[in-house]
A and B are shown apart, each in its own frame.
Chain A
Amino acid sequence: MFLLDLEFQFVPQHGTAHPDDGIFTITIPAGEYIVEADAEGFLNARAGTIDPLAGTVDPVVIIASGETTTMETITLLAGDIFKVDFLLGGVIDEWDAMSIGINYGEAEPPAADLNCDGIINVLDLELLAKNYRKTGPTPWYPIP
């Protein structure tokens, strides 16, 4: 149920989404890509590596002309509310927890409403606590 709520938050920049099952189909030119999944309040998942400090990029998704590549199903971890640097990857830490605490009982900011029930409360804090101290991006791979 939790993930079904999330499906409607996803708006792919290119391609189409299937809100019934959370599958996205994106048509792109052949080439090498880094694929990322991200949602407000969640650690992102990334296929490939980016090192903004070293200035290096290592894509792992290779799209051949006329072929379809399928990514494995990924579950984003709830709790990365206050994203400092998307490229560096996030961490679910005390600042995310305090972002729930200072907005307790409110509906804003949406990133702190982790279960998307319209109110920031202890249920969101419980979700965060399960992933406390986890870091992103979560590795993500194409299905061979």
Chain B
Amino acid sequence: MKRVYVPFIAIVLAFVFAFNVHAQTSESIWLTASTTAYKTGETVSVTLNAISATPIQGFTFQIRYDPDCLRPINAASSIPGMNGLPLPQLSGQVDGSYASTTPQIVNGLLAEIRFVTLGGCQTDLMLESAALAIRSAEGFAAPLAGVTIGERNINLNIDKEVAESLPAQPLSGSILPLDPPSTSQGVPGWALGLLATLVVAGIIFGAFKLFRTRSGVTQKMSPPSRSAALHIKHGPQAGKSIVINKLPFLIGRDPLNDICLNDPHVISQHARIFATNNDYYLMDLGGETFVNGQAIRKSPAILKPGDVVRLGKSALFVFGS
């Protein structure tokens, strides 16, 4: 009878060994990849696997990668109720943590982690650390003891040939974004600064163009051939003259204006003087502005020597040379 059982047991053992080549122990974690050859721009997908007889409530992993070759995109766990925890990432390391409010038996796929290839490279993905989590008696996440890490390295061969764009395969389960810090994405800080400056300059230029179009007057900032001044006729500075030595010339309550008026009826940026076609103009910016007793609203008013300018209730000037 024993001779009958021996070949049978041998077949069973061979079968078990062949189908459990990755599951090194009863409680272990390991990394796998179905493909290791990629072109530039393709999506690399690796899977983190585990087997555990003890129900777990979370897992964590850190995968080291070369940021010159790969950029992490996301990770997803299809284990029901296992949610990704969005935590800050470091350049060169994927730091993934998942947690569930209920204990789960795991036997196989824990998470799929995706990268995009950046250029021709021979590079490694290394599972630097990984652990399964259980709930401690005090209610905290604690590492499950006795878990071994199996296969932890994946060698990737990335061809410099750029791949044709293919539709990305959808992920299933709880998706965890793995955005690395911006400095790891190959764009130098000075380039970002320059881009930001150009954007701000573009917005200012666009706003200026829009303002010019709406006002209906072309505001050339070149000063007219004659100089001009505002002679203060009312208030503590009465008798004083202020030369319009720059254009545009801003008047308001804000200290950043060219003339700052501490008057409750003057708003922070009340009016501006600009020049075009050898003439000076006064524009109201939202307060009450009068030229020779006439309120000016949407259209700027031309200023001529002797014109009386009033801002708000009491700020009074005479425009002159």
Contact = CB atoms under 8 A, between A and B. Distances in A.
- The answer to whether A and B belong to the same complex is yes
Contacts of B268: none
B135 A102 contact: yes
Contact of B87 (A97, A99, A106, A111): A97
Interface in B29-81: 57-58, 60
B83 A94 contact: no
A105 B140 contact: no
A105 B83 CA distance: 13
B95 A99 contact: no
Interface in B277-292: none
Interface residues of B, number: 22
B101 A102 contact: yes
Interface in B114-147: 133, 135, 138-143
B269 interface: no
A70 B135 CA distance: 41
Contacts of A135: none
21 contacts: A81-B140, A82-B141, A82-B142, A94-B85, A94-B87, A94-B95, A95-B141, A97-B97, A97-B99, A98-B60, A98-B98, A98-B99, A98-B141, A99-B140, A101-B85, A102-B57, A102-B101, A103-B101, A109-B139, A109-B140, A133-B88
Contacts of A125: 85-86
A129 B87 contact: yes
A101 B86 contact: no
B140 A82 contact: yes
Contact of B58 (A82, A102, A106, A108): A102
A98 B143 CA distance: 10
Contacts of A111: 140
Interface in A111-139: 111-112, 125, 129, 132-133
Given A94-B60, A125-B86, A129-B87, A100 B99 contact: yes
Interface in A24-51: none
A85 to B, nearest CB: 14
A98 B58 contact: yes
Contacts, number: 74
Contacts of A106: 101
Interface residues of A, number: 23
Contact of B88 (A96, A99, A129): A129
Nearest to B56: A102
Given A81-B140, A82-B141, A94-B60, A102 B133 contact: yes
A95 B88 contact: no
Interface string A49-85: 0000000000000000000000000000000011000
A104 to B, nearest CB: 6
B85 A97 contact: yes
B140 A95 contact: yes
A68 B94 CA distance: 49
Contact of A129 (B83, B86, B101, B140): B86
B276 interface: no
A55 B138 CA distance: 29
Interface of A: 81-82, 94-106, 108-109, 111-112, 125, 129, 132-133
B48 to A, nearest CB: 14
Contacts of A81: 140
Contact of A101 (B88, B100, B138, B139): B100
Nearest to B134: A102
A98 B141 CA distance: 6
Contacts of A112: 139-140
A105 B143 CA distance: 22
B58 A101 contact: yes
Given A102-B100, A102-B135, A129-B86, 15 more contacts: A82-B140, A82-B142, A94-B60, A94-B87, A95-B133, A95-B140, A97-B87, A97-B97, A97-B99, A98-B60, A98-B98, A99-B140, A101-B141, A102-B139, A105-B101
Q: Which of B60, B83, B85 has the most CB of A within 10 A?
A: B85
Contact of A102 (B86, B87, B141, B143): B141
Contacts of B101: 101-106
Nearest to A111: B140
Contacts of A99: 139-141
A144 B236 CA distance: 48
Contacts of A108: 139
Q: Which 7 A-B pairs have the closest CB atoms?
A: A101-B99, A98-B141, A109-B139, A82-B140, A98-B58, A94-B97, A94-B60
